[in-house]
Chain A
Amino acid sequence: MLSWTIVRTPPTGFKQFAPYIVALIELKSGVKMAGQLVDCNILKLKSGVKVKAVLRKVRESSKEGIIPYGIKFKIK
Chain B
Amino acid sequence: MTIGIAGVYTTKFGELWSQGFASLMKEAIYGALEDANLEIKNLDAIYVGNMLSGNFGDQEQLGAAISGELGLNIPAIKVEAACASGGIAVHQACQAVKSGSYQTVLALGIEKMTDYAPEEVAAGLMQAASEDERIAGLTFPALYALMARAHMQKYGTTESQLALVAVKNHFHASLNCKAQYPFTLTKQDVLNSTCIADPLKLYDCSPITDGASAVILTAKNQQVKILASQVATDSTGLAGRESITEIKATKLASQKAFASANIDPQEINVAELHDCFTIAEILALEDIGFVKKGEAGPRLEKGQFKLGSKGLIVNTSGGLKAAGHPVGATGVKQVVEIVEQLRGSAGKRQVKGEAKLGLTHNIGGSGGTAVIHILTNKGKAFNKN
* Residues of A near any B CB (own CB < 8 A): 2-15, 17-18, 20, 22-24, 31-36, 47, 58-59, 68, 70, 72
Closest residue on chain B to residue A72 by CB atoms:
B136
With the chains together, A67 CA to B138 CA distance in Å? 19
Interface residues of B in 197-255 (CB under 8 A from A): 197-200, 237-240, 244
Residues of A within 8 A of B191 (CB): none
* A34-B195 contact in complex given A11-B122, A13-B123, C-beta closer than 8 Å: no
CB-based contact B137/A17 at 8 Å: yes
Closest residue on chain B to residue A26 by CB atoms:
B239
Closest residue on chain A to residue B245 by CB atoms:
A3
Residues of A within 8 A of B118 (CB): 9
A34: contacting residue among B117, B149, B196, B237, CB under 8 A:
B237
26 contacts between A and B (CB under 8 A): A2-B150, A3-B150, A4-B146, A5-B142, A6-B198, A7-B138, A7-B141, A7-B197, A9-B119, A9-B141, A9-B197, A12-B120, A12-B122, A12-B123, A13-B137, A22-B146, A32-B238, A33-B132, A34-B130, A34-B146, A35-B132, A35-B136, A58-B135, A58-B136, A68-B135, A72-B136
Q: Is B79 an interface residue (CB 8 A)?
A: no
B196: contacting residue among A9, A22, A36, A72, CB under 8 A:
A9
Q: Is B126 an interface residue (CB 8 A)?
A: yes
CB-based contact B196/A8 at 8 Å: yes
With the chains together, A20 CA to B145 CA distance in Å? 14
Closest residue on chain B to residue A18 by CB atoms:
B137
With the chains together, A53 CA to B147 CA distance in Å? 22
Residues of B within 8 A of A24 (CB): 146, 238-239, 244
CB-based contact A15/B239 at 8 Å: no
* Residues of B near any A CB (own CB < 8 A): 117-120, 122-123, 126, 130, 132-133, 135-139, 141-142, 145-147, 149-150, 153, 194-200, 237-240, 244
Closest residue on chain B to residue A47 by CB atoms:
B153
With the chains together, A43 CA to B367 CA distance in Å? 30
Residues of B within 8 A of A32 (CB): 238-240
Residues of A within 8 A of B122 (CB): 9-12
The smallest C-beta distance from B177 to any residue of chain A, in angstroms, reads 30
Closest residue on chain A to residue B195 by CB atoms:
A8
CB-based contact B137/A7 at 8 Å: yes
* A10-B139 contact in complex given A2-B244, A3-B147, A4-B149, C-beta closer than 8 Å: yes
The smallest C-beta distance from A53 to any residue of chain B, in angstroms, reads 12
* A11-B237 contact in complex given A4-B149, A6-B197, A59-B137, C-beta closer than 8 Å: no
CB-based contact A34/B147 at 8 Å: no
Query: 7 tightest CB-CB pairs across the interface, nearest first?
Result: A5-B145, A11-B123, A32-B239, A11-B122, A14-B137, A12-B123, A3-B146
The smallest C-beta distance from A14 to any residue of chain B, in angstroms, reads 4
Closest residue on chain A to residue B118 by CB atoms:
A9
B138: contacting residue among A2, A12, A31, A34, CB under 8 A:
A34
Residues of A within 8 A of B237 (CB): 34
